[in-house]
């Protein structure tokens, strides 16, 4: 995500020359940055073309199958069984990407039984046998410990990952120390992550309560607003969907010193959806259902269903996404996705229970939530 424009152009030229590594690299950039309408389709084509030669490309294509993102070589529906099959094949051929994806899904129980303890044991064995392996595995081991409630052991693994150069661990360390109540250390990790260009840190302080912001001296408010604005735009430029969500929020509601600008805000919300941010998807789907989108952005009932489905695919444990998907009644949507809904989603709907929806504001959409 930090590649400059000239590097992307170099990849495109290499793809035209038939370079299989460039096919994979450009495909990954297109997949995550999603700059244009056809980007996902192009990524699918590139991964498919490279998957026999490169195991990582096979793993990337398997990821698209899992999230129902294919359209040319496979129907646009989730196929976790085929995805898992390809991930296992890629892992057997030495793909670290495939091994990482498998560990993540099993650790968190994404459409499977969660087994963080077993995954932790496997990663511990990997680190014992391969001491010079990718430091990302220390981050994943930290996640596995955290899923088991072992916060201290998780922090140790995150620290080890950072010491070995895995910079994307900054927000996880910040979260650990925030939970411990050590806000000074938490903030210092977020600030250092921002200084080192970590996109996931760029939303630092964007979740501040507006009433707390308004209590600050005027010069402090101006300084903080400038910092938040600059960081959010920097993160958005690197393809971070959370930054797009906060830019939508603050421009929509005029909070934290931002000017209220609904058209600008909605453009940020659309970009958040493109960047697969779950909150952006849920907000846009709900706004469409409530009739709060302008006419040029309105979504049909089927399109709203597609948005709820996409959010649920990316985050199957998100209750808001599941509830939104559960309540889609458009006949065309239900017929199109009948098999997927019955196979993957009906069991999850049952876990939601039959509690009555209320109009009481529970604060879930507050900016700091």
| Rg (alpha carbons) of the chain, rounded to whole number | 21
Please give the distance of CA 356 from its chain centroid, rounded to a whole number: 30
* pLDDT, tens digit (0-9, with 9 covering 90-100), for 98-155: 999 999 999 999 999 999 999 999 999 999 999 889 999 999 999 999 999 999 999 9
pLDDT at 357: 47
164's CB contacts (< 8 A; 6+ apart) are: 135, 138
For residue 354, pLDDT over 70 is answered with no
Secondary structure element (H or E) that encloses residue 208, with its range? none
* pLDDT, tens digit (0-9, with 9 covering 90-100), for 285-311: 999 999 999 999 999 999 999 999 999
Question: CA triplet 305, 307, 308: central angle to 5 degrees?
Answer: 65
How many CB atoms are closer than 10 A to CB 55? Answer: 23
pLDDT at 275: 97
Cα-flanking dihedrals φ and ψ of residue 19, to 5°?
A: -70, 115
State mean pLDDT over 39-47.
97
Cα dihedral: 18, 22, 28, 31 (round 10)? -40
Name the average pLDDT for the chain: 94
Cβ-contact 242, 277 below 8 angstroms: yes
pLDDT at 358: 44
| Domain-wise residue ranges, the chain | 1-112, 115-200, 208-270, 276-354
For the chain, percent of residues with pLDDT exceeding 70: 95
CA–CA separation, 330 and 292 (whole Å): 19
Q: How confident is the model at residue 361 (pLDDT cuts 50, 70, 90)?
A: very low
Domain 1-112 fold is 1.25.40
Evaluate whether 1-112 and 115-200 have a shared fold: yes
CA–CA separation, 16 and 340 (whole Å): 36
pLDDT at 367: 42
Question: Token match 């250390």: residue?
Answer: 185
Helix (H, G, I), strand (E, B) or coil at 181: coil
Closest CA to 119 of 137, 107, 131, 129: 107
Secondary structure element (H or E) that encloses residue 80, with its range? helix 80-92
pLDDT at 131: 82
Kindly state the tokens that stand for 189.
Answer: 């990790």
State mean pLDDT over 214-235.
97
CA–CA separation, 91 and 74 (whole Å): 21
Cβ-contact 312, 322 below 8 angstroms: yes
State mean pLDDT over 177-202.
96
How many CB atoms are closer than 10 A to CB 18? Answer: 9
State mean pLDDT over 77-104.
96
Q: How confident is the model at residue 351 (pLDDT cuts 50, 70, 90)?
A: confident
* pLDDT, tens digit (0-9, with 9 covering 90-100), for 199-212: 999 999 999 999 99
Domain 115-200 fold is 1.25.40
- The CA-atom distances, in angstroms, between 161 and each of 10, 50, 137, 229 are 31, 30, 8, 30
pLDDT at 234: 97
pLDDT at 366: 47
Closest CA to 287 of 272, 264, 304, 268: 304
DSSP secondary structure string for all residues of 41-75 = HHHHHHHHHHTTT-HHHHHHHHHHHHTT---SSS-
CA–CA separation, 277 and 240 (whole Å): 8
138's CB contacts (< 8 A; 6+ apart) are: 127, 157, 158, 160, 161, 164, 166
For residue 356, pLDDT over 70 is answered with no
How many residues would you count in the chain?
Answer: 369
State mean pLDDT over 260-283.
97
- Whether the CA torsion 37, 38, 41, 42 is positive or negative: it is negative
State mean pLDDT over 177-201.
95
For residue 353, pLDDT over 80 is answered with no
> Of the ranges 6-15, 30-39, 358-367, which one carries the lowest mean pLDDT score?
358-367
For residue 318, pLDDT over 60 is answered with yes
Cα-flanking dihedrals φ and ψ of residue 360, to 5°?
A: -65, 135
Q: What is the pTM for the complete model shown? A: 0.91
Secondary structure element (H or E) that encloses residue 277, with its range? none
259's CB contacts (< 8 A; 6+ apart) are: 251
Question: CA triplet 287, 288, 290: central angle to 5 degrees?
Answer: 65
């Amino acid at each position: 995500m930090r590649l400059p424009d000239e590097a992307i152009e170099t990849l495109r030229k290499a793809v035209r020359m038939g370079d299989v590594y460039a096919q994979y690299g450009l495909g990954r950039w297109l997949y995550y940055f999603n700059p244009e309408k056809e980007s996902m389709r192009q990524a699918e084509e590139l991964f498919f073309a490279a998957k026999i030669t490169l195991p990582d490309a096979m793993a990337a294509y398997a990821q698209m199958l899992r999230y129902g993102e294919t359209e040319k070589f496979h129907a646009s529906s989730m196929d976790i069984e085929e995805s898992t099959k390809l991930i296992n094949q890629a892992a057997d051929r030495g793909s670290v990407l495939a091994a990482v994806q498998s560990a993540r899904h099993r650790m968190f129980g994404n459409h499977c039984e969660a087994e963080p303890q077993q995954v932790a044991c496997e990663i511990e064995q990997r680190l014992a046998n391969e001491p010079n392996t990718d430091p990302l595995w220390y981050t994943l081991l930290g996640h596995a410990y955290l899923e088991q409630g072992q916060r201290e052991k998780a922090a140790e693994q995150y620290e080890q990952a950072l010491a070995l150069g895995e910079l994307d661990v900054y927000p996880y360390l910040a979260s650990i120390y925030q939970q411990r109540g050590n806000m000074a250390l938490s903030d210092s990790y977020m600030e250092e992550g921002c200084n080192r260009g970590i996109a996931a840190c760029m939303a630092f302080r964007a979740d501040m309560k507006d009433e707390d912001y308004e209590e600050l001296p005027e010069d402090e408010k101006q300084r903080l607003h400038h910092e938040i604005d600059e960081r959010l735009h920097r993160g958005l430029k690197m393809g971070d969907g959370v930054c797009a969500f906060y830019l939508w929020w603050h421009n929509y509601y005029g909070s934290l010193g931002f000017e209220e600008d609904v058209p600008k805000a909605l453009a940020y919300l659309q970009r958040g959806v493109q960047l697969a941010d779950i909150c952006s998807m849920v907000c846009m789907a709900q706004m469409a259902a409530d009739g709060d989108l302008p006419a040029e952005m309105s979504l049909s009932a089927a399109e709203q269903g597609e948005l709820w489905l996409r959010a649920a695919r990316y985050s199957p444990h998100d209750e808001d996404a599941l509830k939104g998907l559960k309540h889609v009644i458009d006949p065309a949507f239900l017929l199109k996705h009948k098999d997927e809904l019955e196979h993957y989603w009906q069991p999850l709907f049952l876990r939601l229970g039959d509690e009555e929806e209320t109009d009481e504001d529970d604060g879930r959409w507050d900016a700091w939530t």
